[in-house]
Amino acid sequence: MNFILTRLSTHVIFFILTFIFSIILGPVFIPLLTKLKFGQTVRDDGPKSHYKKMGTPTMGGVIFLIPVLIMSLYYGIKNTEILPLAFVTIGFGLVGFIDDFIKVVKKRKDGLYWKQKMLGLLLVAVSFSFYIYYKGIGTEIIIPFLGIDRTINLGWFFIPFTVLVLISATNSVNITDGLDGLAAGVTLIITVFFTIVATASNEWEHVKIFSSIVSGGCLGFLAFNAHPARVFMGDTGSLALGGAVGAISIAMNMPLILIIVGGIYVVESLSVLLQVSYFKMTGRRILKMAPIHHHFELSGWKETKVVMVFYIITIILCVLGFFAL
């Protein structure tokens, strides 16, 4: 066993350990969430196939967040640079947890009020952005397709820009989380991409480890969230994953690359924005339902087909991301 471990890279070991830890926690938390009646609600105007999901345990993001936190803290003993990445992930996850708790326990449909939710996210995002700025990792961001050494220096604008990246990423992943295995699977592919890219420089060692940890957590969670889902991540998980990919891209000076590899996130968010804007202007809808994954469902696609197509698109976008570097 020791021989095998010594032959494995550190990030692979952390990936495996986080995956196993998540697999162990699933059977612990799913019955607990069921017993506490922390069940999912379903939109009345949504696809009819989703009605059977009513009552499925939510707030399942804790299944991978606990392993992510423990593995990050363990590695943080050796390299504290990983801790800010974990801070954003857990901080956003905590905001999501409070939001979910209010929804399922207090029976308030929308959870936290919008201002309360944004305040919580902003506190975490601004704290991280100031830390990164004054830590001195650089205020440059890599420009896609011009080479990894071609950057633009944002100066002091780096702070509001990174806050925008974090808030946009976390809300986009939140919007994407609507089908069994969709958000977790897409995020898994993206974090694996960043893990591979991070191997290019020793300066990104902590990012490589953290990306591996998040990847392991996502894969472990998929064991319970893939169709038919036994548990949903809720805002607890989706806000955390958005914070994770946003923080990873910032730590590597690659937020513009995230726009490419996270194209599914972008399209999902734009579909909601366009649907709402067009409806307010004309009283009509562009899509049968937003986000766009529900449009495909109402157009006759099976849920599993939508998810698989979105996976394939994300893999293609990640390949494009390598060329962009």
Residues in the chain: 325
pTM of the model: 0.93
Q: How far apart are CA 145 and CA 324, in angstroms?
A: 4
pLDDT over 90 at 163, yes or no: yes
50 located within any domain: yes
Q: How far apart are CA 83 and CA 135, in angstroms?
A: 13
Chain segment 10-56, per-residue pLDDT in tens: 899 999 999 999 999 999 999 999 888 876 666 555 666 665 677 78
pLDDT of residue 7: 45
pLDDT of residue 6: 45
- Position 92 confidence tier, pLDDT thresholds 50, 70, 90: very high
55 located within any domain: yes
Chain segment 124-139, per-residue pLDDT in tens: 999 999 998 887 677 8
Q: Do residues 36 and 48 touch, judged by C-beta distance below 8 A? A: no
pLDDT of residue 5: 42
Q: Do residues 165 and 255 touch, judged by C-beta distance below 8 A? A: yes
pLDDT of residue 175: 96
Chain segment 282-314, per-residue pLDDT in tens: 989 999 999 999 999 999 999 999 999 999 999
Chain segment 13-23, per-residue pLDDT in tens: 999 999 999 99
pLDDT over 60 at 185, yes or no: yes
Q: What is the mean pLDDT of residues 252-263?
A: 96
Q: What is the mean pLDDT of residues 59-68?
A: 96
Question: What number of other Cβ atoms are within 10 A of residue 292's Cβ?
Answer: 25
Q: Do residues 238 and 211 touch, judged by C-beta distance below 8 A? A: no
Q: For the range 91-94, what are the long-range contacts, defined as Cβ-Cβ under 8 Å and sequence gap of 24 or more?
A: 91/123, 91/124, 91/127, 91/243, 92/121, 92/124, 92/166, 92/170, 92/239, 92/240, 92/242, 92/243, 93/61, 93/65, 93/236, 93/237, 93/239, 93/240, 93/243, 94/120
Chain segment 107-130, per-residue pLDDT in tens: 777 788 989 999 999 999 999 999
Chain segment 223-244, per-residue pLDDT in tens: 999 999 999 999 999 999 999 9
pLDDT of residue 36: 82
231 located within any domain: yes
Considering only CA atoms, give the Rg of the chain.
19
> What mean pLDDT, rounded, does the chain reach?
91
42 located within any domain: yes
Q: How far apart are CA 282 and CA 203, in angstroms?
A: 51
β-bridge pairing 151-153 and 140-142: antiparallel
Q: Is 44 within any annotated ligand binding site?
A: no
pLDDT of residue 46: 61
322 located within any domain: no
Higher-scoring residue by pLDDT: 95, 8? 95
What tokens appear for 319 in the block? 């390949």
Higher-scoring residue by pLDDT: 6, 89? 89
Q: For the range 42-51, what are the long-range contacts, defined as Cβ-Cβ under 8 Å and sequence gap of 24 or more?
A: 45/289, 46/289, 46/294, 47/289, 47/294, 47/297, 47/298, 47/303, 49/297, 49/303
Q: What is the mean pLDDT of residues 235-264?
A: 96
Residue % of the chain over a pLDDT of 90: 75
pLDDT of residue 299: 92
Number of domains comprising the chain: 1
Q: Residue 95: which domain range?
A: 6-137+152-256
Higher-scoring residue by pLDDT: 72, 135? 72
> Which ranges constitute the DSSP H helices of the chain?
2-7, 10-35, 62-76, 83-104, 114-135, 158-176, 182-198, 205-225, 234-251, 255-261, 263-282, 292-298, 303-324
Q: Is 202 within any annotated ligand binding site?
A: no
pLDDT of residue 68: 98
Residues with Cβ within 8 Å of residue 270, at least 6 apart in sequence: none
301 located within any domain: no
285 located within any domain: no
